[in-house]
Amino acid sequence: KNEVEQSPQNLTAQEGEFITINCSYSVGISALHWLQQHPGGGIVSLFMLSSGKKKHGRLIATINIQEKHSSLHITASHPRDSAVYICAVSPNTGNQFYFGTGTSLTVIP
């Protein structure tokens, strides 16, 4: 069983489009994380949130704790946004992180 599910698995967009990536989870959590993995393999933490909404530049992350759902939005997408976006959760049990399988985003000029 997978505690964290992401959709879509793959996404291709034209430059400038608004993009949404979804994440659903099945466990109680203390925090949810959005990560970005570039083709070279290194991973960067974009957001950690436990309620509401956070914004950083063109990226917006929202979470609905009651529905166990989070979304990552990218406004005015750009080819440099092409990467794998990974959703992860910190469960209330506090003994490890659970990771989704990632959404591979390609933004075409």
Partner 1 sequence: DGGITQSPKYLFRKEGQNVTLSCEQNLNHDAMYWYRQDPGQGLRLIYYSQIVNDFQKGDIAEGYSVSREKKESFPLTVTSAQKNPTAFYLCASTMGRFNQPQHFGDGTRLSIL
Given the rule CB under 8 A, which residues bind partner 1?
2, 4, 30-31, 33, 35, 40-45, 48, 86, 88, 90-91, 94-102
Shortest distance, CB of residue 16 to partner 1, whole angstroms? 30
Shortest distance, CB of residue 19 to partner 1, whole angstroms? 21
Exposed e or buried b per residue across 44-71, where buried means at least 16 C-beta atoms within 10 angstroms of its C-beta? eebbebeeeeeeeeebbbbbeeeebebb
17 versus 68: smaller Cβ distance to partner 1: 68
Shortest distance, CB of residue 69 to partner 1, whole angstroms? 18
Instruction: Quote the radius of gyration of the chain (alpha carbons, Å).
Output: 13
74 versus 91: smaller Cβ distance to partner 1: 91
Beta bridge partner(s), residue 64: 69
Most distant CA pair in the chain, distance: 44
Residue 9 near residue 23, CB atoms below 8 Å: no
66 versus 95: smaller Cβ distance to partner 1: 95
